[in-house]
Amino acid sequence: MRTVMAVAVSKSRKGNAFINFGAPYPNQTFQGYVPAGTALADDPWLQSLRGKTVGITGVVQPYKGKPEIRILGKSQIKEL
């Protein structure tokens, strides 16, 4: 589990959602990626995480030189 403050929650033009940690995109140190087409990508609950301390679980994969966890459901995110 990676636990830090979610400083930014954003959505791309393609419909993907991101929870950025450490700094807003593109300077984030770590991110959670929610693919477009999943129920969670359009869930307003994601926006409520901004500025809160959260933990996310999953497999950490590098993406463009930065660590990322793919998030497919709310069960992978825990407000602390």
Q: pLDDT digit string (tens) for 2-23?
A: 556 667 888 898 999 999 988 8
Other CB atoms within a 10 A radius of the CB of residue 41 amount to 20
Answer whether 49's CB lies under 8 Å from 6's CB.
yes
Predicted local confidence at residue 1, as pLDDT = 54
pTM for this entry: 0.86
pLDDT of residue 80: 82
Class of domain 2-79: mainly beta
Among the residues of 1-80, which ranges form H helices?
Answer: none
**What ranges do the domains of the chain cover?**
2-79
Q: Are 40 and 73 in contact (CB under 8 A)?
A: yes
Give the pair of three-digit tokens for residue 25. Answer: 């995109």
